[in-house]
Amino acid sequence: MSALDQTVQTQLESIQAQLGMSLADVAELVKRTGLTRQGDIRWMLEREYGIKHGDAKMLVSVLFESHQQVAI
CA distances from 22 to 3, 11, 18, 25 (A): 22, 13, 10, 5
Give pLDDT tens digits for 3-55. 878 888 999 999 999 999 999 999 999 999 999 999 999 999 999 999 999 99
Phi-psi map region of 2: left, alpha, beta (phi>0 left; psi -120 to 50 alpha):
beta
Q: How many CB atoms lie within 10 A of CB 67?
A: 12
pLDDT of residue 70: 43
Q: Is the pLDDT of residue 72 over 80?
A: no
Query: What is the rounded CA–CA span in Å between residue 72 and residue 70?
Result: 6
Q: Is the pLDDT of residue 66 over 80?
A: no
Q: pLDDT category, 67, cuts 50, 70, 90?
A: low
Would you give the DSSP letter of residue 6?
H
Q: pTM score, two decimals?
A: 0.81
pLDDT of residue 13: 94
